[in-house]
Structure 1
Amino acid sequence: MVPANRRRCYRDRPVGGLACPGGQGPGGPIPTFPPDGLRQAAPGRPLTFRSDALGRWDTGLIAFLWDLKQRATQAHLDLRTDTLPDSARKLLDLLPEAPPPPPTPRPRTFAPVTALGAFTIESLTEIGTVTELGVETARGGLEAVTGRGRMRSIDLMSNIRDAGPSALLIVSVVNFLVGAILAFVGAVQLRKFAADIYVASLVGIAMVREMSAVMTAIIMAGRTGGAYAARIATMQGNEEIDALTVFGIPVSSYLILPSILGLVATMPFLYLYGCLIGMLGGFTVAISMLAVTGAGYFHQTINAVGLNQFEFGFIKSIFFAILIGLTSCRIGLRSGRSAADVGVAATRAVVVGIVGVITLDAIFAVIATTLGI
Structure 2
Amino acid sequence: MTQLQKPPAPLDPSQSPQWSLTSEGNNPLLTLRGVWLARTGNIPQFPKDGLRAAPAGSTITFDMSPITDWDTGLIAFLWDIKRSGHDRHITLDAQSLPAPVRQLLELLPDASDGPPPPPAKRLPVLERIGGHTISSLTEIGTVTSLGGMTLRGGLQALTGRSRMRLSDLLSDTANAGPQALLIVGIVNFLIGAILAFVGAVELQKFAAGIYVASLVGIAMVREMAAVMTAIIMAGRTGGAYAARISTMQGNEEIDALNVFGIPTSTYLILPAVLSLVITMPFLYLYGCLIGMLGGFVVAISMLDITAAGYFHQTITSFGIGQFIFAFVKSIVFGAFIGLTSCRIGLKAGRSAADVGIAATRAVVVGIVGVIAIDAIFAVIADVLGI
TM-score w.r.t. length of structure 2:
0.80
2:338 to 314, 325, 328: 325
SS in 2 for 1:17: strand
Inter-partner Cα distance in structure 2 for 1:138 and 1:51: 74
Residue 340 (structure 1) aligns with: 353
Structure-to-structure mapping, 1:188-267, within 5 angstroms: 188-267=201-280
What letter is aligned with 1:95? D
Q: Is the 8 A contact 1:51 1:84 kept in 2?
A: no
Inter-partner Cα distance in structure 2 for 1:263 and 1:80: 65
Q: Is the 8 A contact 2:16 2:42 kept in 1?
A: no
1:17 to 35, 54, 64: 35
Instruction: Please give the per-residue CA displacement for 1:240-297, whole angstroms capped at 9, x wherever unaligned.
Output: 0000000110000000000000001100000000000000000000001111111100
Residue 85 (structure 1) aligns with: 95
Residue 118 (structure 2) aligns with: 104
Q: Aligned-pair distance for 1:6?
A: 4.0
Q: Aligned-pair distance for 1:38?
A: 5.0
Q: Aligned-pair distance for 1:308?
A: 1.3
- 1:175 is the counterpart of 2:193: no
Inter-partner Cα distance in structure 1 for 2:132 and 2:74: 50
Q: Is the 8 A contact 2:300 2:306 kept in 1?
A: yes
What letter is aligned with 1:371? L
SS in 2 for 1:140: helix
Number of residues paired by the alignment?
A: 343
Q: Aligned-pair distance for 1:353?
A: 0.3
SS in 2 for 1:102: coil
Q: Aligned-pair distance for 1:67?
A: 2.5
Pair 61,250 (structure 1): closer, same or farther in 2 beyond 3 Å: farther
SS in 2 for 1:304: coil
Computing the radius of gyration from Cα coordinates, the structure with the larger value is 2
Inter-partner Cα distance in structure 2 for 1:226 and 1:295: 42
Pair 345,324 (structure 1): closer, same or farther in 2 beyond 3 Å: same
What letter is aligned with 2:372? T
- 1:49 is the counterpart of 2:62: yes
Pair 213,91 (structure 1): closer, same or farther in 2 beyond 3 Å: same
Pair 37,49 (structure 1): closer, same or farther in 2 beyond 3 Å: farther
SS in 1 for 2:62: coil
Inter-partner Cα distance in structure 2 for 1:44 and 1:218: 71
- 1:357 is the counterpart of 2:373: no
Structure 2: unaligned runs, 5 residues or longer:
1-13, 20-32, 55-59
Inter-partner Cα distance in structure 1 for 2:353 and 2:384: 46
The farther-off stretch of 78-87 and 135-144 is: 78-87
SS in 1 for 2:36: coil
Q: Is the 8 A contact 2:46 2:77 kept in 1?
A: no
Identity percentage over the alignment? 65
Q: Aligned-pair distance for 1:60?
A: 11
Q: Is the 8 A contact 1:183 1:202 kept in 2?
A: yes
Instruction: Please give the per-residue CA displacement for 1:337-363, whole angstroms capped at 9, x wherever unaligned.
Output: 000000000000000000000000000
Pair 86,296 (structure 1): closer, same or farther in 2 beyond 3 Å: farther
- 1:122 is the counterpart of 2:130: no
Q: Is the 8 A contact 1:130 1:330 kept in 2?
A: yes
Instruction: Please give the per-residue CA displacement for 1:54-103, whole angstroms capped at 9, x wherever unaligned.
Output: 9xxxx999765223445x68xxxx99756543997x9799823x542111
Instruction: Please give the per-residue CA displacement for 1:146-181, whole angstroms capped at 9, x wherever unaligned.
Output: 011111000000000000011000001100000000
SS in 2 for 1:49: strand
